Amino acid sequence: MSGELTPGEFKSCCASFYADDVVRRILGDSFHPGGEALTLELLDAVKAGPDDDLLDVATGPGASAVLAARKKGCRVTGVDLSTENLARTGALAKERGVADLVTVREADAERLPFEDGSFDVVLCECAFCTFVDKTTAAREMARVLRPGGRLALSDMTLETDAFPEDLDTLLMRVACISDAVPGERLEAFFSDEGFVDLETGDARWALHEMVEDIRGRLLAVELASKLGKIDLGGIDVQEGKRMARRSIEIIEDGTVGYVTLTGRLPAR
């Protein structure tokens, strides 16, 4: 965790970062590698369907919450710390005709405001690495699931003790990437909470694709700013381009990765 920020400041910085308009332009509609394709892979793996109450933890702008409602008919609750993103989720659900299936609520993943055993499926994409207290977040996910409830998660992994020094900037910390853990450790957070049949899948392709997309969008944002069409605020596009180049290197050498993780709680 960042030495410069308290846990509260870190969470609020992370939420504001992902609510920023320029950041949205750079990341696109969905804030996780693999987009809809990887979300559908996860939903299929846990057999999400119309009988399921699904909790999307750290739903961001809601692309996955809305997808789970549209394609699988799940009753979805999306929680996030960012009210701006929750408003986007609500608007998207309305626009796509699934407002009756999607509810949003401002909440911290480490203190979920739900009774024990409220959900059948917990979805959490590219967000576990951002949680300050990962043990508590995993425990909360287990608590709100019913017996037999399923976990569908994807996340960044970091297969080294130290994040590469030249990338360990405040931006990377606030973008919440530098607090990722190795794949084995990620799985252990959930086995410790009683999840069984845990399966980790390699989705590094999705990370590679996302960084390439981001590189393209950074160029578009740079052009729009040169033409005076957008205000970059505090975003340093040159630094973003450098980090994107370096990110490709550390994906290729295996320092960072992206994985899917599915599992379930025992039926009783």
Ligand X SMILES: C[S@@+](CC[C@H](N)C(=O)[O-])C[C@H]1O[C@@H](n2cnc3c(N)ncnc32)[C@H](O)[C@@H]1O
Footprint of ligand X (CB under 6 A): 11, 14-15, 18, 30-32, 58-60, 63-64, 80-82, 85, 108-110, 125-127, 130-131
Q: Which is nearer to ligand X, 68 or 81 (CB)?
A: 81
Beta-strand relationship, 256-264 and 145-158 = antiparallel
Beta-carbon count within 10 A of 148 CB: 11
Token pair 């973003």 is at which residue? Answer: 240
Q: Which is nearer to ligand X, 119 or 131 (CB)?
A: 131
Q: Which is nearer to ligand X, 25 or 225 (CB)?
A: 25
Shortest spacing between CB 166 and ligand X, in angstroms: 22
Shortest spacing between CB 251 and ligand X, in angstroms: 16
Shortest spacing between CB 172 and ligand X, in angstroms: 12
Shortest spacing between CB 219 and ligand X, in angstroms: 21
Provide φ and ψ at 122, rounded to 5°.
-110, 125
Q: Which is nearer to ligand X, 36 or 266 (CB)?
A: 36
160: amino acid identity, one letter: T
Residue 47 Rama label (left phi>0; alpha psi -120 to 50; beta): left
CA distance 50 to 55: 13
Q: Which is nearer to ligand X, 6 or 196 (CB)?
A: 6
Q: Which is nearer to ligand X, 127 or 181 (CB)?
A: 127
Shortest spacing between CB 133 and ligand X, in angstroms: 8
- Position with the least CB separation from ligand X: 60
Shortest spacing between CB 183 and ligand X, in angstroms: 18
Residues whose CB falls within 8 Å of the CB of residue 247, separated by 6 or more in sequence, listed in order: 167, 211, 256
Listed residue (40, 38, 41, 32) closest to 61, CA to CA: 32
CA distance 14 to 175: 6
